[in-house]
Amino acid sequence: MDGVIPLNKPKGMTSHDCVNRIRRLLKTKKVGHTGTLDPDAEGVLPICVGKATKIASLLTGQTKEYVAEISLGTLTTTEDHSGEIVKKEAVSSTLEIETCEDILSKFLGTIEQTPPMYSAVKVNGKKLYEYAREGIVIERPSREIQIHSIKMLSNEITWYNDYDVRFRFKVTCSSGTYIRTLCVDIGQGLGFPAHMSDLKRTKVGNFDLKDTYTFQDLETALNNDDLPFINMADALTIPSLYVTDEEAKRYHHGQVLDQPDNQCYSSLFKVVDESNHLIAIYQPHPSKRGKVKPFKVF
């Protein structure tokens, strides 16, 4: 069992909960996820099984797409609806959807983001949420993220009350982007406290929500001996080098080799054999010009 299962994570489960359930279903310990999705969020969570756990870090770094709902008027400790309220301010009745759309456009491109206190980012060897649970707020280093696209989905603002005013948007972004924090920052741009009221991850790299499986789907597939594993070669979005079975042997043995003819790789590339199996991941040699060396071999 080597491959990637495109799971549709349900609300109410942590990413680690999902890994544990897959381990029980498949009766194997070699299972890992490809990037934490908040317990209250749902959507695409690729799960790596067997040898595919070796590519989990590469899948984690892929571009992601989300559909999010922002609630204006209230800020919470966790920056989503599960946290305690720390600030409330009535939203102006004159706020228009066009104004919200204009603010969204200002977040397009490279922006600075400070990770939330309730996150798994480590500072001084300790996860931020561990500090937060102790009631400690510490300085967090900002980092650059990429917002590739951001689009308003709502045709109008939904008013639940003066402290809960919502709209939905779609965002495509780099790995490491906190949509909760993005919602808070959008609220600041509009002049109001805000939090994320709903989140669905709709895409991770090559994995689309429409191609995912629920746990019920997986249990049915397991009973029919037809589990939906995605080939490791297909799961990765890095450039490809297709080789013959004879050539594949040299890559499988992890040899330092000449840069492939008529190919120019500036970073990692996957080596795939005639059966579409992932043989290895290679990279340019750091000191030997015109040579490539293994990054991972399978």
Distances (CA, A) of 86 to 89, 92, 183: 11, 19, 15
Cα 266 to chain centroid, rounded: 24
Q: Which of 2, 38, 164, 273 is catalytic?
A: 38
**Secondary structure class of 269 (helix, strand, coil):** strand
Beta bridge partners of 266: none
Q: Which helix (H) or strand (E) holds 22?
A: helix 15-26
* 38 noted as active-site residue: yes
Return the structure tokens found at 37: 């999705």
In order, the DSSP letters of 151-177 are EE--SS-EEEETTEEEEEEEEEE-TT-
Dihedral of alpha carbons 42, 35, 176, 194, sign: positive
Asked whether the beta carbons of 126 and 35 are under 8 A apart, the reply is no
Rg, Å, the chain Cα set? 22
Catalytic center residues: 38
